[in-house]
Structure 1
Amino acid sequence: MTVSSFSRVALIAVATAGLSGCGGGWFGGSSDPEARQANLDAQYQNTPMAEVERERERQSKSTVWDLFNSDDPNVTVEVNKYLWQASLEVLNFLPIRSVDPFTGVIATDYGTPPGGGRAYRATVYVQDPALDARSLKVSLQSKGGAVSQETVRAVEDAILTRARQLRVRDSRL
């Protein structure tokens, strides 16, 4: 063995010994399995999968009352309660087909108003928690086809008037 090959082998041995002393195990971690697991757990807490698991745990502990007490707009009921109640009261002569307070939609089947001879069906969309005309959208249809804008406007006005009455009544309590 020549001096240059001996020095090369010695240099590789010293470099290997030096690097193994600095590393302390695989991937620069501790050789202690518990410390290595704690390091992996700490790294896992910042991953998207850990976020999903935390959200699932939080949702599994929720109740139906959390819908009304939550600040998350994706979970809470975001309709104006006065417009909602007024819509149900004004259109109470129409049989309800479906009601969804989470989206704010009330859909009815055909029914004849008191004192009227024409059958209507309605779809009401309460789209905002504000007691405002822009928060209410009403769509009416008769068996004969479309309904005039004046009729739709009259129903919207009746709902808005009743909603204001309900709010005034509640403010007196």
Structure 2
Amino acid sequence: MFRPLRSALVVCAALAIAGCGGGQKRPGTDLAASRITTIGVNSYLWRASLDTLSFMPLLQTDSNGGVIVTDWYVNPQTPAERMKVTVTILDQDLRADAVRVAALREVNRGGQWVSAPVTAATTQKLEDIILTRARDLRRASSAN
């Protein structure tokens, strides 16, 4: 019974607070700031990570904590190998050191999945792809 009234009050309060900016733009600010935190982490890095891993099945996502965990993915071109990836967004700013990728790799030997090493270049390449995509998303939002 009170839920609609409470929701309306919250919306009104949020609008009132948002309108208290004074009308002056601070120097050095832009519409596509590098710090976008409505979900707990940088939204450009979050979206870019999801886009980059879109071909893999997702096991867990936590936008407040900035963690994305995929399930095992088997590339049809290499069916005897599978990968699992974890992306962690470490900061609210769009920076190169704000995203960390960890990967697990297994190979099928005689019907058993056995751990295999993942080269550092693989995780570095995924981080680079995510950062490039995040920067593209930021540029696109400032163009609008």
TM-score range, shorter chain: 0.5 to 0.7
Aligned identity (percent) is 37
After superposition, what is the alpha-carbon deviation per residue over 1:29-76, rounded to whole angstroms, capped at 9, x for unaligned? xxxxxxxxxxxxxxxxxxxxxxxxxxxxxxxx868xx8xx9xxxxxx7
In our comparison, the structure showing a higher alpha carbon Rg is 1
8 Å contact kept, 1:93–1:113: no
Residues 131 and 115 of structure 1, relative CA distance in 2, 3 Å threshold: farther
CA distance in 2, matches of 1:88, 1:130: 17
1:137 to 93, 100, 106: 100
Residues 78 and 148 of structure 1, relative CA distance in 2, 3 Å threshold: same
Quick one: which amino acid aligns to residue 135 of structure 1?
Answer: A
How far 1:152 sits from its partner (Å)?
0.6
- SS of equivalent to 1:119: strand
8 Å contact kept, 1:77–1:101: yes
1:164 to 127, 135, 139: 135
Residues 62 and 122 of structure 1, relative CA distance in 2, 3 Å threshold: farther
Residues 114 and 93 of structure 1, relative CA distance in 2, 3 Å threshold: farther
Q: TM (normalized to structure 2)?
A: 0.63
Residue 84 of structure 2 aligns with which residue? 121
Q: Which runs of 5+ in 2 are unaligned?
A: 1-8, 18-37, 107-114
Residues 151 and 103 of structure 1, relative CA distance in 2, 3 Å threshold: same
After superposition, what is the alpha-carbon deviation per residue over 1:71-94, rounded to whole angstroms, capped at 9, x for unaligned? xxxxx7431101101111111111
Which one has the bigger strand percentage? Answer: 2
Residue 80 of structure 1 aligns with which residue? 42
* Residue 112 of structure 1 pairs with residue 37 of structure 2: no
Q: TM (normalized to structure 1)?
A: 0.53
How far 1:125 sits from its partner (Å)?
0.6
Which one has the bigger helix percentage? Answer: 1
Quick one: which amino acid aligns to residue 123 of structure 1?
Answer: T
1:150 to 117, 121, 132: 121
Quick one: which amino acid aligns to residue 57 of structure 2?
Answer: P
Quick one: which amino acid aligns to residue 131 of structure 1?
Answer: L
CA distance in 1, matches of 2:54, 2:77: 14
Q: Which runs of 5+ in 1 are unaligned?
A: 1-60, 70-75
